[in-house]
Amino acid sequence: MNILLLEDDLILSAELCKFLESNNFTCDKIYDGETFIRQIKNNTYDLYLLDINVPKINGLDVCQTIRSFDKNTPIIIISAYGDLSDKKDAFTRLADDYLVKPFQFEELLLRVNSLLRRKAPSETTDQDIIRIDDLIVNKTEQKVYRGGNEISLTLKEFQLLVYLAAAQGRTVSKQQITEHVWEHNFNTNTNTVEVYINFLRKKIDKDFKVKLIHTRSGFGYYLSPL
């Protein structure tokens, strides 16, 4: 099980990760909210531990960002703020648990294990989510996010995006797209593929500096941040 920790106290962060690793978890530690958000857009974790008072983006805003595209991964807030209003704010942003500092590491372990046991086996697996740069494609829920914002696609646009994303940067030809997305339900000499590629570019790339959908002249299309 992989845990990502957001904690700017270097000593506490190191001690927490050492304790979790001694209990058969892997633990990555991040010291500011901005870096944390970049990390989760490119990696998958089983649980998040978030301190509130951290640099750049506070833990509550990080929690809200996570929930904008990930409803399932457990989140535990660990904070010196113990007022009811602070706890209410955390649970309003859909945190799963709240632990006030200082706390015993064994209690944290109990809460971590409890939340992980509650995860239903039917929940989204790593294979159901494709992440490319800040693009997240959830195949199970048929939802797409970029930069933390949900993007509305038609069914055929979604199927085309999934096929491009699943190729992991490899170029796919127009013929391959028609076989897998349209199942040869139209003449490959038409410009249907080009039209749908343009639809996707307007929704996926238009408002972002980094373009993801590319044309390799004479060969086909590929999806990559490069």
Domain co-membership, 179 together with 81: no
pLDDT at res. 187? 60
pLDDT of residue 121: 47
How many structural domains does the chain have?
2
The two structure tokens encoding residue 177: 């797209």
Q: Are residues 162 and 102 in the same domain?
A: no
pLDDT in tens, the chain (226 residues): 899 999 999 999 999 999 999 998 999 999 999 999 988 877 888 999 999 999 999 999 999 999 888 888 999 999 999 899 889 999 999 999 999 999 999 999 999 998 988 764 444 445 678 888 888 898 888 889 987 788 999 999 999 999 999 888 899 998 889 888 887 665 656 788 999 999 999 999 998 888 999 999 888 999 988 7
Same domain, 89 and 19: yes
DSSP H or E run through 97: strand 97-100
pLDDT for 188 equals 55
pLDDT of residue 58: 94
Estimate the crossing angle of helix 105-118 against helix 10-22, to 10 degrees.
Answer: 60
What separation in angstroms does the CA of 142 have from each of 35, 146, 152, 157, 164? 27, 14, 10, 11, 15
Containing domain of residue 133, as a range?
129-223
Note the pLDDT of residue 133: 83
Q: Is 45 exposed, middle or buried (0-12, 13-18, 19+ CB in 10 A)?
A: buried
- Residue 145 sits in a domain whose CATH number is 1.10.10.10
C-alpha–C-alpha distance, residues 226 and 218, integer Å: 19
Query: pTM for the whole thing?
Result: 0.58
